[in-house]
Structure 1
Amino acid sequence: MPGQEDEEREFDLRWADDAAHKEPSARARMLAARWKENPPGPVPFRAAPDRGTSLRSSWMSTALVLGCVAVVIVVLGYARFRAPY
C-alpha cells in the first residue's frame, strides 16, 4: 500500500514543519558554544583589493583574452581564404 505510506509520511513532514520549537543544527550549537567564550571579530563583507597589482592584472588578463580571440579570428579567416572552393 504505497499510497497509505505516502500519506503518513506527508503527515509526519507537516507535523515536523509545524513544530513550535526547532532544534538548531549541531554546527550551530558548536559555533554558539565557541563564540560564547571567544566571540569572533568584525569581518568586512568584501576585503578591499590591493589597487596596485589587482587593477594591472585585470587589464592584462583582459588584453590577453582579447588578443587570443583576435588571433583565432585571423587564423580562421586565413584558413577559409586558403581553403579550396
Structure 2
Amino acid sequence: MSDRDDEEREFDLRWADDAEHKEPSARARMLAARWKDNPPAPAPFRADPDHRASAGRSSWVSTVVVLGCVVAVILLLGYVNFRPY
C-alpha cells in the first residue's frame, strides 16, 4: 500500500463534525439512564452564605487585610529604594 491510500482512509474530522446525528458520550448515556428513574435534586449555583468557611468575617475585613498588605509592600519597596548606602 502506498502513503496515498493511507491518507484516503484516514478519518476525516470535518466529515465527522458535519454529521447529522451525533451520538452522546458513554458518560452522558449513563447519566441519562440513571436520571430517568431517579432525577437529581436541584442544586443552587452558589452555596448558601451560612455554609461559608469564614462565616464570622465580613467581606470588608478581607478587603482591609489585602489593601493593608499592598500598602506594606509599597512602603517596604520605597524604603529599600530610598535608604542611603
TM-score interval, smaller chain:
0.5 to 0.7
- Provide the aligned length of Structure 1 versus Structure 2: 80
Match of 1:43 in 2: 43
Root-mean-square deviation (CA), in Å? 2.9
**How many angstroms apart in 1 are the aligned matches of 2:61 and 2:9?**
61
Deviations 1:28-85 (A, max 9, x none): 00101110121112222333423992761x222211111111112222222233233x
**TM score, norm. by length of structure 1:** 0.66
Verify: 1:70 aligned to 2:71, yes or no.
yes
Structure with larger RCO (C-alpha < 8 A, sep 6+)? 2
Verify: 1:53 aligned to 2:40, yes or no.
no
Q: Mind listing any 5+ residue stretches in structure 1 that lack a counterpart?
A: none
Structure 1 runs of 4+ off > 4 angstroms? Answer: none
Deviation at 1:26, TM superposition (A): 0.4
Amino acid at match of 2:81: R
Among all aligned residue pairs of Structure 1 and Structure 2, give the percentage whose two residues are the same amino acid.
66
Deviation at 1:27, TM superposition (A): 0.4
**How many angstroms apart in 2 are the aligned matches of 1:38 and 1:14?**
37
